[in-house]
Protein backbone atom coordinates (compact mmCIF):
# COMPACT_ATOMS: atom_id res chain seq x y z
CA UNK A 1 0.00 0.00 0.00
CA UNK A 2 1.44 3.38 -0.96
CA UNK A 3 2.06 6.05 1.64
CA UNK A 4 -0.64 8.37 0.29
CA UNK A 5 -3.21 5.58 0.58
CA UNK A 6 -2.13 4.85 4.15
CA UNK A 7 -2.36 8.54 5.06
CA UNK A 8 -5.80 8.75 3.44
CA UNK A 9 -6.96 5.64 5.31
CA UNK A 10 -5.63 6.97 8.63
CA UNK A 11 -7.40 10.28 8.12
CA UNK A 12 -10.73 8.76 7.09
CA UNK A 13 -10.73 6.03 9.75
CA UNK A 14 -9.84 8.53 12.48
CA UNK A 15 -12.54 10.96 11.36
CA UNK A 16 -15.26 8.31 11.12
CA UNK A 17 -14.09 6.78 14.40
CA UNK A 18 -14.30 10.16 16.10
CA UNK A 19 -17.81 10.74 14.76
CA UNK A 20 -18.89 7.29 15.91
CA UNK A 21 -17.29 7.72 19.32
CA UNK A 22 -18.97 11.07 19.90
CA UNK A 23 -22.39 9.76 18.89
CA UNK A 24 -22.14 6.56 20.94
CA UNK A 25 -20.64 8.20 24.02
CA UNK A 26 -22.98 11.19 24.18
CA UNK A 27 -26.02 9.23 23.02
CA UNK A 28 -25.79 6.24 25.33
CA UNK A 29 -22.66 5.92 27.46
CA UNK A 30 -22.19 9.35 29.06
CA UNK A 31 -22.66 9.21 32.84
CA UNK A 32 -24.48 12.52 33.37
CA UNK A 33 -24.70 15.59 31.19
CA UNK A 34 -25.36 19.19 32.09
CA UNK A 35 -26.49 20.10 28.56
CA UNK A 36 -29.02 18.42 26.27
CA UNK A 37 -27.65 15.48 24.29
CA UNK A 38 -28.74 16.97 20.97
CA UNK A 39 -26.84 20.20 21.67
CA UNK A 40 -23.65 18.36 22.57
CA UNK A 41 -23.92 16.11 19.51
CA UNK A 42 -24.44 19.17 17.30
CA UNK A 43 -21.45 21.02 18.78
CA UNK A 44 -19.10 18.07 18.35
CA UNK A 45 -20.37 16.44 15.13
CA UNK A 46 -21.32 19.30 12.82
CA UNK A 47 -17.75 20.60 12.38
CA UNK A 48 -16.61 17.13 11.30
CA UNK A 49 -19.52 16.75 8.92
CA UNK A 50 -18.43 19.89 7.05
CA UNK A 51 -15.15 18.15 6.19
CA UNK A 52 -16.52 14.66 5.53
CA UNK A 53 -17.23 14.99 1.81
CA UNK A 54 -13.90 16.62 0.96
CA UNK A 55 -11.98 14.11 3.05
CA UNK A 56 -13.69 11.14 1.46
CA UNK A 57 -13.06 12.54 -2.03
CA UNK A 58 -9.37 13.04 -1.22
CA UNK A 59 -9.07 16.81 -1.55
CA UNK A 60 -5.73 18.05 -0.31
CA UNK A 61 -7.10 21.37 0.96
CA UNK A 62 -9.72 19.60 3.06
CA UNK A 63 -7.09 17.39 4.66
CA UNK A 64 -5.01 20.45 5.52
CA UNK A 65 -8.04 22.23 7.03
CA UNK A 66 -8.90 19.08 8.96
CA UNK A 67 -5.50 19.26 10.64
CA UNK A 68 -6.53 22.58 12.22
CA UNK A 69 -9.87 21.16 13.36
CA UNK A 70 -8.11 18.12 14.83
CA UNK A 71 -6.30 20.45 17.24
CA UNK A 72 -9.61 21.55 18.78
CA UNK A 73 -10.75 17.95 19.23
CA UNK A 74 -7.37 17.19 20.80
CA UNK A 75 -7.94 20.00 23.31
CA UNK A 76 -11.48 18.74 24.01
CA UNK A 77 -10.03 15.28 24.64
CA UNK A 78 -7.51 16.69 27.10
CA UNK A 79 -10.37 18.50 28.82
CA UNK A 80 -12.29 15.22 29.17
CA UNK A 81 -9.21 13.38 30.49
CA UNK A 82 -9.23 15.67 33.53
CA UNK A 83 -12.68 14.39 34.54
CA UNK A 84 -12.23 10.90 36.08
CA UNK A 85 -15.61 9.58 34.89
CA UNK A 86 -14.82 10.56 31.27
CA UNK A 87 -11.12 9.70 31.17
CA UNK A 88 -11.47 6.82 28.69
CA UNK A 89 -13.60 9.01 26.40
CA UNK A 90 -10.96 11.74 26.54
CA UNK A 91 -8.12 9.36 25.76
CA UNK A 92 -10.03 7.98 22.76
CA UNK A 93 -10.68 11.53 21.48
CA UNK A 94 -7.00 12.43 21.86
CA UNK A 95 -5.87 9.31 19.98
CA UNK A 96 -8.40 9.75 17.15
CA UNK A 97 -7.76 13.47 16.76
CA UNK A 98 -4.02 12.80 16.66
CA UNK A 99 -4.70 10.22 13.95
CA UNK A 100 -6.71 12.80 12.00
CA UNK A 101 -3.87 15.28 12.29
CA UNK A 102 -1.20 12.81 11.19
CA UNK A 103 -3.36 11.46 8.37
CA UNK A 104 -3.99 14.97 7.04
CA UNK A 105 -0.34 15.94 7.36
CA UNK A 106 1.04 12.91 5.58
CA UNK A 107 -1.68 13.02 2.92
CA UNK A 108 -0.82 16.62 2.07
CA UNK A 109 2.90 15.86 2.12
CA UNK A 110 2.58 12.83 -0.20
CA UNK A 111 0.14 14.71 -2.44
CA UNK A 112 2.70 17.50 -2.87
CA UNK A 113 5.47 15.00 -3.70
CA UNK A 114 3.31 13.37 -6.36
CA UNK A 115 2.39 16.75 -7.86
CA UNK A 116 6.04 17.82 -7.92
CA UNK A 117 7.08 14.56 -9.58
CA UNK A 118 4.47 15.15 -12.30
CA UNK A 119 5.75 18.70 -12.89
CA UNK A 120 9.33 17.44 -13.09
CA UNK A 121 8.36 14.75 -15.58
CA UNK A 122 6.53 17.30 -17.75
CA UNK A 123 9.54 19.65 -17.65
CA UNK A 124 11.86 16.83 -18.73
CA UNK A 125 9.51 15.84 -21.53
CA UNK A 126 9.36 19.42 -22.83
CA UNK A 127 13.13 19.85 -22.73
CA UNK A 128 13.76 16.72 -24.81
pLDDT score recorded for residue 18 = 96
Q: Are 16 and 103 in contact (CB under 8 A)?
A: no
Average pLDDT of the residues in 3-25: 94
* Residue-number span of the structural domain to which 43 is assigned: 1-29+37-126
The DSSP annotation for 67-126 comes to: HHHHHHHHHHHHHHHHSGGGHHHHHHHHHHHHHHHHHHHHHHHHHHHHHHHHHHHHHHHH
Number of domains in the chain: 1
Average pLDDT of the residues in 28-56: 87
Rounded CA gap, 29 and 55, in Å?
28
Average pLDDT of the residues in 72-98: 94
Q: Are 97 and 74 in contact (CB under 8 A)?
A: yes
Amino acid sequence: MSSIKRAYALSVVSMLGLLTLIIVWNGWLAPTQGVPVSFELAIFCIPLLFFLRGTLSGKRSTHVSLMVVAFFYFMAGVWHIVEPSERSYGIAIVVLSFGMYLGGYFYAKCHDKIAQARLDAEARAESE
